[in-house]
Amino acid sequence: MNEKYNCDVIRDLLPGYIDNILSDTGNELVKNHLGECEECLNIYTEMKEGIGKDDLSAYDTIAVDALKKIRKRTNRLKITIGILVGILFLFLLFIALKIYVIGKPLGTGSMSIPDTVYDEETGQLTVSGKMNLHSFHVSKVVWKEDENNPNIVNVIVYYAETLPFAKDRTDFSIVIPNVKGKKVYLACPEYDRMEIYDWRMHHYEKVESLKKEIYGKVPELDEKTDALNCMQGITAVDGIEGISFNVDFIYGKGASYWWFNGMLTTNGELAPADFEIWISLEEPHIILIYDYQKGKYIDDFSIISNRKRTE
């Protein structure tokens, strides 16, 4: 075998020699040749260094990629666990606040209102009450206008469980502004209501005196057959405060009417008028008619006679 052919054979065997997969005879052959041939030795050195670098680079890349994946998954797991822990914490916090701080509306049957004080100058109403439950406390008291009637105010009392070793707060008080002409209820919620204040009843003598004033100054009205019912709320006309009355005409031979528990009762036929009568609260009393047909206030009382039904 010539030298050229021998070098070619040895170089073909170099990868196996480097990976140590040749037989003992092959390894010995290559080893002896490298000891004698400087050119093949250089090729062997370059091949070994090149393979080592490539293998190391590939290994480093795989290792780095694996570490990145592990770190990414770990971060995702940490974030997921953090979110779950946060949600659980908020849920437990909400439950605790709901039970011990916020509470829920108290039923009207579990309360008593010993006192309501109305301030004539400011129109404010102070409501003082007490909760008749043990191991609970009054968490808050709020008021709001009724959604269907702005002349009705609902007071809502919230109660919550008392923390261990804490003192029960069972009394409460709230100041409601601008109650003039309105009615106030305890509510839980609005379908469970108990009336605690009615401006009209609190000013019963005032309302009755204004009613007498209307009958005395409007001859078209007959006190025996034309019933006046005070409406809720204060109405301002040209900047002057006043109250309005519904009018109900009573028909029938010998018919009369009377009030029972605030309800109009009659032994005849009742026909509501299509107007209201307004009277100012302060003297000198001004009396006007609000005509539903025209949608405005007028001072022509003749419409009362004109719109009464003839027998």
29 & 64 share domain: yes
CA–CA separation, 124 and 17 (whole Å):
105
186 & 153 share domain: yes
The region, left, alpha or beta by phi > 0 then psi within -120 to 50, assigned to residue 295 is: left
Q: Report the relative pairing of strands 136-145 and 104-105 from DSSP bridges.
A: unpaired
Number of domains in the chain: 3
pLDDT digits (tens, 9 = 90+) for 270-292: 999 999 999 999 999 999 999 99
251 & 298 share domain: yes
| Number of residues written out for the chain | 311
| Residue 254 DSSP label | T
pLDDT digits (tens, 9 = 90+) for 228-240: 999 999 999 999 9
Average pLDDT for the chain: 87
- Select from 78, 94, 128 the last residue of a domain: 78
CA–CA separation, 214 and 286 (whole Å):
10
Whether 56 has a pLDDT exceeding 50, the answer reads: no
Is residue 60 one of the residues assigned to a domain? yes
Closest CA to 34 of 20, 50, 17: 17
CA–CA separation, 198 and 152 (whole Å):
9
216 & 242 share domain: yes
CATH code, domain carrying 267: 3.10.450
Is residue 87 one of the residues assigned to a domain? no
123 & 194 share domain: yes
Is residue 101 one of the residues assigned to a domain? no
- Token pair 């004080």 in the structure block, residue: 117
CA–CA separation, 290 and 311 (whole Å):
25
* CB atoms inside a 10 Å sphere around CB 288: 21
Rounded to the nearest angstrom, the gap between the alpha carbon of residue 32 and the centroid of all alpha carbons in its chain is 91
- Select from 151, 176, 199 the last residue of a domain: 199
168 & 210 share domain: no
* CB atoms inside a 10 Å sphere around CB 249: 19
pLDDT digits (tens, 9 = 90+) for 16-41: 888 888 888 888 888 888 888 888 88
180 & 229 share domain: no
Is residue 233 one of the residues assigned to a domain? yes
pLDDT digits (tens, 9 = 90+) for 78-119: 899 999 999 988 888 887 777 777 788 999 999 999 889 999
303 & 238 share domain: yes
Whether 1 has a pLDDT exceeding 50, the answer reads: no
Residue 282: CB partners within 8 Å, gap ≥ 6?
240, 241
- Select from 178, 199, 220 the last residue of a domain: 199
Q: Provide the domain limits for residue 112.
A: 108-199
Please name the helix (run of DSSP H) or strand (run of DSSP E) that holds residue 12, with its range, or none. helix 3-18
